[in-house]
A and B are shown apart, each in its own frame.
Chain A
């Protein structure tokens, strides 16, 4: 989830009338473009949900049943939003979730201190109260294919997110002690490894932890490592702090908590026998701006040095899981970027199949995914009414 995504189109709709209901003050802030005072999305998410936990869930009026059935693949922000919207319009909605708990990135990715799980549970409860059926432990593309779903449902929405971790592709990356941020955060957030041995999933926390990357996920992983007892946690980022994709607020929080920032530094090799013991890095300097508009990091020849680490968390981004794309006949996708091709309303190349959120954009924000869910709900409703 990148800070820049905060201002992406249509998000105000998602916040104002999507699953995060009854929250209006955000609207002006959302106009804020990247570079000005950062929008406190983390706090916003908490505020909305805290408000509802205190004031109780209001279940809105539902339209008369239409007799139409919709399958929503994935129970993250896009999926929960669209499920609620379509249920309100009188359609019968079933959410299919791969993991054993609904919530997608809200339960596996975002740590408790940024988004308490009781809030996600309240959101899920709300969606269920609207009559949405949630089936966990169903992996679409394996347990059922999209084509199987189309035999039973009138439309399918793909909100499968961006769950596939990117890796560095450098020597030693598979040594024990090296985690993807996804694994580290899934163990903590979804599996509650912080409560081992009461919960069965274990986690290792090193003394000297390096988190590679400069996005919000890197900040989350670094702060989790520190909370779990690491002595020293360093964010290692190849550009300067200026270019970090994380929201300013997250960077500040991480710094306040004592995370070290090692910028203009890129790992080139991991060292270790039984497990990781060190990381060879090279210093970088900033060259000309690249296609992202940020100054390109260029290695400084001969500047190699070794950092002593006993745990590494790689947080350099995620891509959508290709499973659904590869198993769905006639669904166009961008092979290079690994995303499903959909228009602004979520319509894909396949009749009756819609998509939105990270699976169509690459890793972005919760708010953007909710907006996409909201828009696709309109499109699916029209499709089901034959308009």
Chain B
């Protein structure tokens, strides 16, 4: 059981929760994730640790209400409990020194980028690009600004910041200056195009992959991804990998395995109120 201490609506379908999890907070590092089980009939889903406070013993999760599980989670309020929370899982991000790093966050991926950028800021130049569909769906702009030397915002519809996708300003940056590393976290399709954008420039690019997971500890292999032609388990070998080596098309196919079931579960949940 993990008690929700604070709940904030960041956008109509994006929630931030601060959760009491002292054991996880004590060990958490940027780049790691937790497995969440909302209730006794719940599935196990991975969510990135968006922030943590070792002293208060809390972690922060940010999620898009996209299916039944995240909608159920979103209905819980401060004071209520999440049935199960396990972590911190996965490997911490590699934080280099004296580099110029471009962080790219798409959608709720911005929250996953934040703790990595915060830690990296201490010894690197940070340029961040965060993107969303529309102004209302943009999250953590202030936080990202506080950990970036430069922040670029894009929206698909142009309602805020630059109109367009994150890869456009990224390409301009790569043309303009020497970038040592790009770290991208967001939808698989965004990470795929970030990798395609940086590839011709030969800039090291890291993506944090978001495959389907069950146990999150190396047992099931649901999260198998192909990196440089080799099978990796995102839960224990990742979640961060060299984006130029990742087979994103395969990742997307595997992500759509349960599309029908996800739609059905969501429909029944929404209809059931």
Contact = CB atoms under 8 A, between A and B. Distances in A.
B44 A100 contact: yes
A139 B86 contact: yes
B256 A99 contact: no
B219 A176 contact: no
Given A174-B225, A200-B265, A139 B231 contact: no
Interface string A108-150: 1000000000000000000000000000111100111000000
A98 interface: yes
Interface stretch (A190-198, A216-224, A363-371, A379-387): A190-198
B88 A143 contact: yes
Interface residues of B, number: 42
Nearest to A201: B43
B236 interface: yes
A241 B217 CA distance: 34
A108 B44 CA distance: 13
Given A99-B215, A176-B257, A200 B43 contact: yes
B23 A143 contact: yes
Contact of A167 (B218, B231, B250): B231
Interface in B143-164: none
Given A167-B231, A200-B42, A139 B250 contact: no
A173 interface: yes
A137 B214 contact: no
Interface in B215-273: 215, 217-222, 224-226, 231, 236, 250, 253-254, 256-258, 261-262, 264-265, 268
Nearest to B1: A137
Interface stretch (A177-185, A291-299, A344-352): A177-185
Contact of A169 (B231, B256, B258): B231
B181 to A, nearest CB: 26
B221 A183 contact: yes
A288 interface: no
Contacts of B218: 163-164, 321, 323
B219 A143 contact: no
B3 to A, nearest CB: 14
B89 interface: yes
B84 A177 contact: no
A320 B221 CA distance: 14
Interface in B28-42: 37-38, 41-42
Given A98-B215, A138-B23, A202-B258, A143 B86 contact: yes
Contact of B231 (A137, A163, A173, A323): A173
A142 B88 contact: yes
Contacts of A182: 219-221
A204 B258 contact: yes
B84 A136 contact: yes
A143 B87 contact: yes
B231 A191 contact: no
Interface string A92-105: 00000011100000
Given A100-B84, A199-B41, A200-B68, A180 B254 contact: no
Nearest to A100: B84
Nearest to B84: A100
Contacts of B231: 167, 169, 173-174
A187 B219 CA distance: 12
Nearest to A98: B217
B95 to A, nearest CB: 19
A99 B226 CA distance: 26
A174 B27 contact: no
A179 B27 CA distance: 31
B83 interface: yes
B219 A275 contact: no
A138 B214 CA distance: 15
Given A100-B86, A186-B214, A200-B41, A177 B257 contact: yes
Contacts of A199: 41, 43
28 contacts: A100-B86, A136-B84, A137-B85, A138-B23, A139-B89, A142-B88, A142-B217, A144-B27, A165-B221, A173-B231, A174-B225, A176-B253, A176-B257, A180-B221, A186-B214, A191-B44, A196-B261, A197-B261, A197-B264, A197-B268, A198-B41, A200-B38, A202-B43, A202-B265, A204-B258, A274-B253, A274-B256, A275-B253
Sorted from nearest, which 5 A-B pairs have the closest CB atoms? A202-B261, A183-B220, A200-B43, A100-B84, A201-B43
Interface of A: 98-100, 108, 136-139, 142-144, 163-165, 167, 169, 173-177, 179-180, 182-183, 186-187, 191-192, 196-202, 204, 274-275, 321, 323
Given A174-B254, A179-B222, 20 more contacts: A98-B215, A99-B215, A100-B86, A136-B84, A137-B84, A143-B24, A144-B23, A163-B217, A167-B221, A167-B231, A175-B253, A176-B253, A196-B265, A197-B261, A200-B68, A202-B265, A204-B258, A275-B253, A275-B257, A323-B218
Interface of B: 23-24, 27, 37-38, 41-44, 68-69, 83-89, 214-215, 217-222, 224-226, 231, 236, 250, 253-254, 256-258, 261-262, 264-265, 268
